[in-house]
Amino acid sequence: MSDMPQKSTNVVWHSATVTRERRAELNKHQSKVLWFTGLSGAGKSTLAHAVEEELYRRGFRTFVLDGDNVRHGLCADLGFSDRDRVENIRRIGEVSKLFVEAGVLVLTAFISPFRDDRMKVRTLLSSDDFLEIYCKCPLDVCEERDVKGLYKRARAGEIKGFTGISSPYEEPVDPELTIDTSSMTLDDSVQAVLELLLKRGVYSES
Protein backbone atom coordinates (compact mmCIF):
# COMPACT_ATOMS: atom_id res chain seq x y z
CA MET A 1 0.00 0.00 0.00
CA SER A 2 1.05 3.63 -0.51
CA ASP A 3 2.83 5.59 2.21
CA MET A 4 0.81 8.68 1.28
CA PRO A 5 -1.12 10.25 4.19
CA GLN A 6 -4.47 8.47 4.48
CA LYS A 7 -7.24 11.09 4.34
CA SER A 8 -10.08 8.67 3.69
CA THR A 9 -11.77 7.27 6.77
CA ASN A 10 -13.74 4.10 7.39
CA VAL A 11 -11.96 2.18 4.65
CA VAL A 12 -10.53 -1.30 5.06
CA TRP A 13 -8.11 -3.08 2.71
CA HIS A 14 -9.83 -6.07 1.09
CA SER A 15 -7.70 -9.06 0.15
CA ALA A 16 -8.73 -10.76 -3.10
CA THR A 17 -8.83 -14.50 -3.61
CA VAL A 18 -7.47 -14.20 -7.16
CA THR A 19 -3.88 -13.30 -6.35
CA ARG A 20 -1.01 -12.00 -8.42
CA GLU A 21 0.61 -15.43 -8.19
CA ARG A 22 -2.47 -17.12 -9.64
CA ARG A 23 -2.56 -14.60 -12.47
CA ALA A 24 1.11 -15.26 -13.24
CA GLU A 25 0.37 -18.99 -13.41
CA LEU A 26 -2.50 -18.34 -15.81
CA ASN A 27 -0.48 -15.91 -17.95
CA LYS A 28 2.69 -18.04 -17.91
CA HIS A 29 4.80 -14.97 -17.23
CA GLN A 30 5.59 -12.66 -14.33
CA SER A 31 4.37 -9.08 -14.08
CA LYS A 32 6.86 -6.22 -13.77
CA VAL A 33 7.22 -2.51 -14.44
CA LEU A 34 9.57 -1.65 -17.30
CA TRP A 35 10.32 1.99 -16.62
CA PHE A 36 11.74 3.66 -19.74
CA THR A 37 13.34 7.01 -18.86
CA GLY A 38 15.34 9.53 -20.87
CA LEU A 39 15.19 12.88 -22.58
CA SER A 40 12.43 13.88 -24.94
CA GLY A 41 13.34 12.40 -28.31
CA ALA A 42 15.48 9.64 -26.83
CA GLY A 43 13.13 6.98 -28.18
CA LYS A 44 11.35 5.87 -25.01
CA SER A 45 7.88 5.52 -26.53
CA THR A 46 9.19 4.00 -29.75
CA LEU A 47 11.13 1.34 -27.84
CA ALA A 48 8.38 0.66 -25.31
CA HIS A 49 5.80 0.04 -28.03
CA ALA A 50 8.22 -2.08 -30.06
CA VAL A 51 8.90 -4.22 -27.00
CA GLU A 52 5.18 -4.50 -26.32
CA GLU A 53 4.56 -5.60 -29.90
CA GLU A 54 7.08 -8.42 -29.54
CA LEU A 55 5.69 -9.47 -26.16
CA TYR A 56 2.15 -9.40 -27.53
CA ARG A 57 3.19 -11.73 -30.33
CA ARG A 58 4.39 -14.12 -27.64
CA GLY A 59 1.02 -14.01 -25.88
CA PHE A 60 2.00 -11.76 -22.98
CA ARG A 61 -0.43 -9.49 -21.11
CA THR A 62 0.99 -5.99 -21.57
CA PHE A 63 0.13 -2.32 -21.46
CA VAL A 64 2.08 0.84 -22.28
CA LEU A 65 1.61 3.95 -20.16
CA ASP A 66 2.82 6.80 -22.36
CA GLY A 67 3.72 10.21 -20.98
CA ASP A 68 1.67 12.19 -23.48
CA ASN A 69 -1.32 9.84 -23.40
CA VAL A 70 -1.87 9.96 -19.63
CA ARG A 71 -1.92 13.76 -19.76
CA HIS A 72 -5.09 13.50 -21.83
CA GLY A 73 -6.91 11.90 -18.92
CA LEU A 74 -5.42 10.70 -15.65
CA CYS A 75 -3.01 13.63 -15.41
CA ALA A 76 -4.86 16.20 -17.52
CA ASP A 77 -5.01 18.54 -14.53
CA LEU A 78 -1.21 18.71 -14.20
CA GLY A 79 1.23 21.13 -15.79
CA PHE A 80 5.01 20.87 -16.03
CA SER A 81 6.18 22.60 -12.88
CA ASP A 82 8.50 20.54 -10.67
CA ARG A 83 5.61 19.95 -8.28
CA ASP A 84 3.30 18.75 -11.04
CA ARG A 85 5.99 16.49 -12.47
CA VAL A 86 6.42 14.87 -9.07
CA GLU A 87 2.66 14.28 -8.80
CA ASN A 88 2.54 12.98 -12.37
CA ILE A 89 5.10 10.29 -11.60
CA ARG A 90 3.48 9.47 -8.25
CA ARG A 91 0.18 8.74 -10.00
CA ILE A 92 1.88 6.64 -12.65
CA GLY A 93 3.67 4.70 -9.95
CA GLU A 94 0.38 3.86 -8.24
CA VAL A 95 -1.26 2.88 -11.53
CA SER A 96 1.75 0.74 -12.43
CA LYS A 97 1.47 -1.05 -9.11
CA LEU A 98 -2.15 -1.91 -9.90
CA PHE A 99 -1.14 -3.31 -13.29
CA VAL A 100 1.53 -5.45 -11.65
CA GLU A 101 -1.03 -6.84 -9.20
CA ALA A 102 -3.31 -7.53 -12.18
CA GLY A 103 -0.60 -9.73 -13.70
CA VAL A 104 0.29 -7.31 -16.50
CA LEU A 105 3.72 -6.35 -17.79
CA VAL A 106 3.42 -2.58 -17.76
CA LEU A 107 5.81 -0.50 -19.86
CA THR A 108 6.03 3.18 -18.95
CA ALA A 109 7.53 5.85 -21.21
CA PHE A 110 8.14 9.01 -19.21
CA ILE A 111 10.99 11.48 -19.11
CA SER A 112 10.70 11.22 -15.30
CA PRO A 113 13.67 13.58 -14.89
CA PHE A 114 14.20 13.34 -11.14
CA ARG A 115 16.01 10.39 -9.51
CA ASP A 116 14.08 10.77 -6.29
CA ASP A 117 10.75 10.32 -8.08
CA ARG A 118 11.95 7.19 -9.87
CA MET A 119 13.25 5.83 -6.56
CA LYS A 120 9.87 6.43 -4.92
CA VAL A 121 8.21 4.30 -7.59
CA ARG A 122 10.85 1.61 -7.11
CA THR A 123 10.23 1.51 -3.35
CA LEU A 124 6.46 1.44 -3.93
CA LEU A 125 6.87 -1.97 -5.55
CA SER A 126 8.52 -5.19 -4.47
CA SER A 127 12.31 -5.03 -4.76
CA ASP A 128 12.59 -6.84 -8.11
CA ASP A 129 9.43 -5.52 -9.78
CA PHE A 130 10.87 -2.23 -11.03
CA LEU A 131 13.18 -2.48 -14.04
CA GLU A 132 14.65 0.91 -14.91
CA ILE A 133 15.63 1.15 -18.56
CA TYR A 134 17.64 4.23 -19.41
CA CYS A 135 17.24 5.34 -23.01
CA LYS A 136 20.52 7.21 -23.23
CA CYS A 137 20.84 9.70 -26.04
CA PRO A 138 22.95 12.88 -26.31
CA LEU A 139 21.00 16.11 -26.11
CA ASP A 140 22.20 17.24 -29.54
CA VAL A 141 20.88 14.05 -31.13
CA CYS A 142 17.52 14.47 -29.39
CA GLU A 143 17.39 18.04 -30.67
CA GLU A 144 18.21 16.91 -34.20
CA ARG A 145 15.31 14.48 -34.07
CA ASP A 146 12.92 16.94 -32.37
CA VAL A 147 9.99 14.92 -33.67
CA LYS A 148 7.47 17.10 -31.83
CA GLY A 149 9.19 20.44 -32.42
CA LEU A 150 9.50 20.93 -28.67
CA TYR A 151 13.22 21.67 -28.49
CA LYS A 152 12.88 24.40 -31.07
CA ARG A 153 10.08 25.99 -29.07
CA ALA A 154 12.01 25.59 -25.81
CA ARG A 155 15.10 27.24 -27.33
CA ALA A 156 12.85 30.09 -28.47
CA GLY A 157 11.57 30.54 -24.93
CA GLU A 158 8.05 29.39 -25.79
CA ILE A 159 8.18 26.42 -23.39
CA LYS A 160 9.35 27.03 -19.85
CA GLY A 161 10.93 24.36 -17.68
CA PHE A 162 11.72 22.04 -20.58
CA THR A 163 13.87 19.09 -19.56
CA GLY A 164 17.39 19.27 -20.96
CA ILE A 165 17.09 22.96 -21.81
CA SER A 166 15.77 24.94 -18.86
CA SER A 167 15.11 22.08 -16.44
CA PRO A 168 17.54 19.31 -15.44
CA TYR A 169 17.48 15.63 -16.28
CA GLU A 170 19.08 13.45 -13.61
CA GLU A 171 20.56 10.36 -15.22
CA PRO A 172 19.93 6.99 -13.56
CA VAL A 173 22.81 5.93 -11.32
CA ASP A 174 22.39 2.16 -11.54
CA PRO A 175 19.63 1.23 -13.99
CA GLU A 176 18.83 -2.38 -14.78
CA LEU A 177 19.56 -1.63 -18.43
CA THR A 178 21.10 1.23 -20.41
CA ILE A 179 20.38 1.45 -24.13
CA ASP A 180 22.24 3.96 -26.26
CA THR A 181 19.45 4.84 -28.64
CA SER A 182 21.76 7.04 -30.70
CA SER A 183 23.80 4.04 -31.84
CA MET A 184 21.74 0.87 -31.28
CA THR A 185 19.13 -0.20 -33.81
CA LEU A 186 15.55 -0.58 -32.66
CA ASP A 187 15.69 -4.33 -33.23
CA ASP A 188 18.84 -4.67 -31.12
CA SER A 189 17.31 -2.48 -28.41
CA VAL A 190 14.20 -4.66 -28.28
CA GLN A 191 16.35 -7.76 -28.04
CA ALA A 192 18.31 -6.24 -25.15
CA VAL A 193 15.08 -5.67 -23.22
CA LEU A 194 13.87 -9.20 -23.93
CA GLU A 195 17.18 -10.60 -22.69
CA LEU A 196 16.78 -8.59 -19.48
CA LEU A 197 13.31 -10.05 -18.94
CA LEU A 198 14.57 -13.56 -19.59
CA LYS A 199 17.46 -13.05 -17.18
CA ARG A 200 15.09 -11.76 -14.50
CA GLY A 201 12.84 -14.80 -14.83
CA VAL A 202 9.86 -12.89 -16.24
CA TYR A 203 9.35 -15.69 -18.71
CA SER A 204 10.97 -18.91 -19.79
CA GLU A 205 11.93 -20.04 -23.29
CA SER A 206 11.09 -23.64 -22.49
The CA distances from residue 85 to 5, 14, 67, 165, in Å, are 19, 31, 11, 16
Parallel, antiparallel, or unpaired: how do β-strands 33-37 and 130-136 relate?
A: parallel
The CA distances from residue 62 to 78, 84, 85, 151, in Å, are 26, 27, 25, 31
Catalytic residue among 112, 166, 182, 183: 112
130 phi, psi to nearest 5 deg: -110, 115
Parallel, antiparallel, or unpaired: how do β-strands 62-66 and 177-180 relate?
A: unpaired
Q: Is 189 a catalytic residue?
A: no
Neighbours of 79 (CB within 10 A): 13
Calpha distance 40→130 (Å, rounded)? 21
The residues assigned a catalytic role are: 112
